[in-house]
Every structure is written in C-alpha cells, then in structure tokens.
Amino acid sequence: DIQMTQSPASLSASLEEIVTITCQASQDIGNYLSWYQQKPGKSPQLLIHSATSLADGVPSRFSGSRSGTQYSLKINRLQVEDTGIYYCLQHYSAPWTFGGGTKLELK
Amino acid sequence: EVQLVESGGGLVQPGRSLKLSCAASGFTFSNYYMAWVRQAPKKGLEWVATISTSGSRTYYPDSVKGRFTISRDNAKSSLYLQMNSLKSEDTATYYCARSTGSWDYWGQGVMVTVSS
C-alpha cells in the first residue's frame, strides 16, 4: 500500500501569512494527488486535483505543487475562512490512501 | 447543481447488517465512478469502496473486503453500500463521493454507530 505522510499535523498561523502543508508519498504516484479542506461538522471539499490544478470555485490563494514524491499545498495570505483540517489523497493505485491531516488554526 | 444525499445510517449491534444509500442528482450519474469514504469520530478519512460506471468493477481496502459490498442503480441514480458483519471499528460517518480521479463532490454524510 502507498503511504502518505502529511506534515505538520497541526499549524497555527496569522492572518495574511503564507502557509505550506506537505505530503510525502512512499512511492511514485505521478500527479494522482488531490487536496481537500474539511470544516467542523462538514464534508470534505476538493481544493486541488492532479497535484497542481485548482478545483472549480476555489480561491486563487490556494495552489499545489510537486517535487518528485513530495507534494505541497500552499495558501497565500491566509484568511479566517481557511481554518479547518486539510487532507491529501493519492488515487494512483488502490487502496486509495489519505494523509493523516493537518489542522490549521488562526494564531 | 450536483447533490449527493446519503441515508440509512443509525445504531446497529455488532455482527448485524446495514445498507446505506446515496441519491445523486444534478449530473449524469451513469458517467461517473462513485465511492464511499468514512471518518471515525475525531479521526481522519478512510476510503471504503469504489465502483465503476457500469458496476462491473468494484474495489475495497482489506479492512472491509468480504464484509462490505458497493453497488449502484444507474436507472435510479443511486449508490449503495451493504455492510455486513459490522464491527465497533466501523463506527463512522460515511460519505458518498463522485469520482473524477479525485473526488469532486461529496454528500453531507450519514452516521453509523456499531454498539451493543
């Protein structure tokens, strides 16, 4: 099974700050990586697909990048509504696996 | 507008069965793979099952293989998850999701509690 190691597990940042969350895949998954945001009591929402493509309706301050088997989600100019838990997902091969999540809070 | 609405959750005893449903609308259901994903209380997300457009191919992680069955009725735009031999560790919120590789739309989730 492909392991997705996500870091950090939690993060506290200030408004307007730049935030970066990373996922390390245990093997090559190409661009079969997506990012999700989940707010308390709500279902996850797709932010980034294909490692770097912004999902429809997602603010442009969100971006995804890839370097080998390391994937990053970057939030430029953090806003209040960006708090929540973020997950990466690899859908290169079954079993599809999520990272452990990053809880993002405002400082 | 794409909508996915799950139903069928509740409290069930260990070893018993439960069937979840997901009603889809706002898109051509038969054109998409569909999936079930679950989240135990205060835990992360776990993929549970995926089904192909026709239903001929299904995929499961080892944790539910042999106990859970995903199915679909394209005429009714509905997705199902039959869960047998339920265990306490199956307690979770279950989401259905539309698959385009990534999962672009999710339902609101339905809670399943396995307890005596």
Taking an 8 Å cut-off on Cβ atoms, the answer to whether A101 and B102 are in contact is no
Q: How far is B93 from chain A (nearest CA, A)?
A: 10
Q: Which residues of A fall within a CB distance of 8 Å from B57?
A: none
Taking alpha carbons only, the member of B21, B28, B20, B39 closest to residue B2 is B28
Q: How far is B12 from chain A (nearest CA, A)?
A: 22
- The gap from C-alpha B73 to its chain's centroid, in whole angstroms, comes to 14
Model pLDDT, residue B97: 98
Q: How far is A96 from chain B (nearest CA, A)?
A: 6
Q: How far is B32 from chain A (nearest CA, A)?
A: 15
User: Which residues, 6+ apart, have CB-to-CB distance to A67 below 8 Å?
Assistant: none
**Alpha-carbon gap, residue A27 to A70, rounded angstroms:** 10
- The amino acid that residue B92 corresponds to is A
Q: Which of A42, A89, A97 lies at the smallest CB-CB distance from B102?
A: A89
Nearest chain B residue to A100 by CA distance is B44
Q: Which residues of A fall within a CB distance of 8 Å from B105?
A: 46
Q: Which of A32, A46, A87 lies at the smallest CB-CB distance from B44?
A: A87
Q: Which of A49, A94, A100 lies at the smallest CB-CB distance from B102?
A: A49
**Alpha-carbon gap, residue A15 to A99, rounded angstroms:** 25
Bridge pairing between strands A102-106 and A10-13: parallel
CA dihedral of residues B23, B28, B31, B37 (deg, nearest 10): -30
Cβ-contact B20, B83 below 8 angstroms? yes
Asked if B61 reaches chain A (Cβ–Cβ under 8 Å), the answer is yes
- Mean pLDDT across chain B: 98
Q: Which of A38, A43, A101 lies at the smallest CB-CB distance from B107?
A: A43
What is the maximal distance between C-alpha atoms in chain B?
40
A35-68 tens-digit pLDDT: 999 999 999 999 999 999 999 999 999 999 999 9
Taking an 8 Å cut-off on Cβ atoms, the answer to whether B102 and A87 are in contact is no
Taking an 8 Å cut-off on Cβ atoms, the answer to whether B44 and A45 are in contact is no
Q: Please, which pLDDT band fits residue A99 given cuts at 50, 70 and 90? A: very high
In order along its 116 residues, chain B shows pLDDT tens digits of 999 999 999 999 999 999 999 999 999 999 999 999 999 999 999 999 999 999 999 999 999 999 999 999 999 999 999 999 999 999 999 999 999 999 999 999 999 999 99
- Block residue for tokens 């394209």: B74
What tokens were used for B28?
């051509």
